[in-house]
Amino acid sequence: MDYYIVDTFTNSLFTGNPTGICVLTSPLTAEVMQKIAEENRYSETAFVLKMNDRYFLEFFTPEEEVPFCLHVTLGAAYIIDHFLEHDIQTLYIDTKSGSLEVQCNRESYQIKSSAFAYSPLDEEENIYEVLGTNPKESYLSRDLVFLLDSPQDVIQLKPNFEKMKQLSDGLGVVVTAKGEDCDFVSRCFFPKLGVNEDMATGSSHCILAPLWASKLGKNKLTAKQLSPRLGRLDCEVQGDHIIIEGNAVLYLKGEIQIP
């Protein structure tokens, strides 16, 4: 089975979010895919299978399958564009959470996805124990989103991941602040999925982009994810949809031996 490692939401190796992309010629069982993802230890590994003129993607963290992952979709689009197709411009990808449309130009990739609704949240009593700080605003969406005062507060945050796992709401925890050299910054944590900190998270920007578009009064935004590897994303809010654009860089091409 052909296997690739791609750094996503970056144009430089060893930055952004690394992901494993497995190109299938026939379906694998969920058990085998989970074992491969566990062996890889990336936040997510994708399994790509062509079905007629479309591609089907499945996503696995080291601990469980997830239905939706945009940085891996970006990595898969890069591999399809460079190794599996020729001069493709529009790519249609099916997942267990629905279909995604990707515009490809070999330099960057634009993924169209649904925006995530969010609502204000009364601060949870133990959030200081989780974050080590009290946020200025709190929101509930797929993830818990906490607004901090500055990018420096985002960078310096040292969460308690064991306590974060115990939060009843949210798949993950996202902290964000208004940017200084971009529109907004963030960090994203998913200890419930076995990923303490994700390096560059496309799906959380389906929450962050509409939130900051409302705050800043603009629909095109630049974003940085201030993880140790630094991710860069461009976002455009189009009503109920988000266009998330980013680059990708190939790190490795190899082969996985499946018995």
Torsion of CA 138, 173, 135, 152, to 10 degrees: -140
Q: Using one digit for the tens of pLDDT, what is the confidence trace for 182-215?
A: 999 999 999 999 999 999 999 999 999 999 999 9
Which H, E and C letters describe 91-110, residue by residue? EEEEECCEEEEEEECCCCEE
Q: Using one digit for the tens of pLDDT, what is the confidence trace for 82-103?
A: 999 988 999 999 999 999 999 9
- d(CA 188, CA 218) in angstroms, rounded, equals 23
Overall average pLDDT of the 131-156 stretch? 97
φ, ψ of residue 30 in degrees (nearest 5): -60, -35
Considering 38, 44, 58, 101, which one is annotated as catalytic? 44
- For the entire predicted model, the pTM comes to 0.94
- Residue ranges of the alpha helices (H) in 19-167? 30-40, 70-79, 127-131, 151-156, 161-165
Look up 58 and say whether it is catalytic: no
φ, ψ of residue 232 in degrees (nearest 5): -125, 130
